Amino acid sequence: MKKIAFAITTMVFLLACHSEKELDPTGACVKVRLVSVLCSQAVMKIEDPAMYNFGESWKDHSNVFLGFLDCSANEAALKDAPFFYVELNTKPFPDDTCPRCAAAIDYSGEKHFYVRVVPNCGGGSINE
């Protein structure tokens, strides 16, 4: 009986550790497209099914999150792009210190990330 209890406890612990690693968005690179953008805030739709766990449903959209764009992001170019790649972070990037306007997107979801636009995700090209 002790062996069974030990095995179950070990299995639950390992599954919990594995799940936490999968859900940690820090440093994740995600293919997205823009749903809406306002004052360096953007609702982004995740295009890669393997990354859907970082998104949620909002209004008529699924697999989306609110991203706080870093200072180097070109909002006009993102509006015209069919998709692009972002690096996710749970905290502001250390070098991201530009002023922001006070307007905000009315996003009631819980998935919020600081994002930095990157050219690709480990071998994937922006011109895929």
Give just the sign of the alpha carbon dihedral 57, 111, 55, 23: negative
Strand ranges inside 13-124, DSSP E: 29-38, 41-46, 56-58, 61-69, 84-89, 112-118
User: Which residue has 């930095």 as its token pair?
Assistant: 116
CB 121 within 8 A of CB 83: no
CB 35 within 8 A of CB 62: no
Q: How far apart are CA 122 and CA 31, in angstroms?
A: 11
Query: What is the pTM (predicted TM-score) of this model?
Result: 0.75
pLDDT in tens, 96-122: 888 888 889 999 999 999 999 999 887
> Per-residue confidence at 21, pLDDT binned at 50, 70, 90?
very low
pLDDT in tens, 33-47: 999 999 999 999 999
pLDDT in tens, 39-94: 999 999 999 999 999 999 999 999 999 999 998 899 999 999 999 999 999 999 88
Q: 90 vs 67, 87, 115, CA distance in Å?
A: 10, 10, 9
Write down the pLDDT at residue 1.
56
